[in-house]
Structure 1
Amino acid sequence: MKLSFRSSALCTATVAGLLVLTACGKKEEQQNNAPAAASTAPAAPAAAPAATTPAAAGTAAAAATPAAPAPATQPATAPAAPAAAADTLKVGSVTLGSAVGSDKKVSKEKTTFSPSEKTIYASVATEGTTAGATLNAKWTYQDGETTTTVSDISQSISTDGPAVTTFKIQNPNEWPEGKYKVTISLNGQAVGNEAFEIKKK
């Protein structure tokens, strides 16, 4: 009986020791797994942003805001050029003859010429002004139903008042007898004509 009791007591003591050790291991494990205690010390305040000086703020604002576009410069208006004087040139008269003076005017007007007269003139008197115009003289010969152009010549003129322009036709031989006409045009428009005749006296 004594031996049995001792053995039971020993076993009991052994089991109790194991339980104590197990309990101790769990306690240590719980202590190790426990979350770390939160620090009660207040967190250090975050560093305050550096104060922006007025100059820097002004620069930042200028960079952020696009500059207003400069007002468009209106092109300087050139003074209007004075209007050119309108042409007022008009043909006044057409005079025929066989000679002209230094003033370009026919010295003796006539409408009948002999076949032997080598040169026949037409003085064209104009009135008004022009910066540049073209006078034309077309000389023709009428032979029955046929009209033949003897000469067709133009002259440019520029004048600010009355002027005389002279045209002529020449023939080293005798002129055929018959009816002739000179037609005067101003800038392509017929403005007058003068008929004449060549015949033997």
Structure 2
Amino acid sequence: MTRSMHSLALYGAVLGSLLWLGGCGKHESAPPAPASASTAPAAAASAPAGSATRPPAGAASAAAARAASVAPAIAPVTAPAPLSVAKLTLGSAVNADHQVIRASNSFATSDKILYASVATEGSSGGATLNAKWSYLEGQGQLVSSISQSIATDGPAITTFKVQNPDLWPEGRYKVEISLDGKPVAQQDFAIKKS
């Protein structure tokens, strides 16, 4: 609302400047030289009505050009960038800002919780991030699939966690991140005996 009122005020100022400059650009014609009695009525009849108060040809466009050079440039309004994933970081602990403390792609079988911290940029009124955790040994078993809604007007961090109260099986794993159903990032990691 404030931006449109600001734009309206700016447009009003530019229009007022154009009208003022247009008025300043008017030039009265010099009074005609005295003519003989026989030619004066013919000259008056051939002149269009109100020609003495019209600006010379091109005066309006010259006034508009002067106003355009004086008027401040109006920056175009740009649409916010769409939401995108900037970075995926894995770790076994996060801080208060939900960021992984120490990034790693190798974990111990005794690590109870694993985190995937997803940094996003851009804005969205409502998007869905999903983290799909898979165990790649054998037939590639699904460990967990977690979705979170996100609404943001700038950079944000969304954290996903997967936990196992028992020991993790050793082997290769993968976490895949999708944004509104479209894959956008993935990272392989390993779990080994400590």
Q: TM-score range by the shorter chain?
A: 0.5 to 0.7
**What corresponds to 1:193 in structure 2?**
186
1:65-144 equivalences under 5 Å are 88-144=82-138
Q: Which residue of 2 aligns with 1:150?
A: 143
Deviations 1:39-85 (A, max 9, x none): xxxxxxxxxxxxxxxxxxxxxxxxxxxxxxxxxxxxxxxxxxxxxx6
Over the aligned positions, Cα root-mean-square deviation in angstroms equals 1.1
Is contact 1:183–1:193 with CA below 8 Å preserved after alignment? yes
Are positions 1:171 and 2:130 aligned together?
no
> Structure 1 stretches (4+) deviating beyond 3 angstroms?
none
Is the 1:134–1:156 Cα contact (8 Å) retained in structure 2? yes
- Residues 1-34 of structure 1: CA distance to partner in whole angstroms, max 9, x if unpaired? xxxxxxxxxxxxxxxxxxxxxxxxxxxxxxxxxx
| In 2: Cα distance, 1:170 partner to 1:117 partner | 8
Question: In structure 1, how many angstroms separate the alpha carbons of the residues matched to 2:83 and 2:191?
Answer: 32
Aligned-pair distance for 1:141? 0.2
- Measured in 1, the distance between the counterparts of 2:137 and 2:127 equals 32
Contact 2:134 2:144 in 1 (8 A): yes
Q: Give yes or no for contact 1:87–1:131 (8 Å, CA) kept in 2.
A: no
Does the CA contact (< 8 Å) of 1:135 and 1:154 recur in 2?
A: yes
Distance in 2, Cα, partners of 1:98 & 1:192: 19
Alignment gaps of 5+ in structure 1: 1-84
SS at match of 2:140: strand
- On the 8 A contact 1:129/1:159 being kept in 2, the answer is yes
Unmatched segments (≥5 aa) in structure 2: 1-78
Identical residues among aligned pairs (%) = 58
Residue 200 of structure 1, CA deviation: 1.3
Q: What is the Cα deviation at residue 143 of structure 1?
A: 1.3
Following superposition, the deviation at residue 132 of structure 1 comes to: 0.4
Q: TM-score, normalised by structure 1?
A: 0.56
Contact map agreement 1:183 1:194 (CA 8 A) in 2:
yes
SS of residue paired to 2:136: strand
In structure 1, what is the Cα distance between the partners aligned to 2:91 and 2:185?
A: 17
Query: How many correspondences in the alignment?
Result: 116
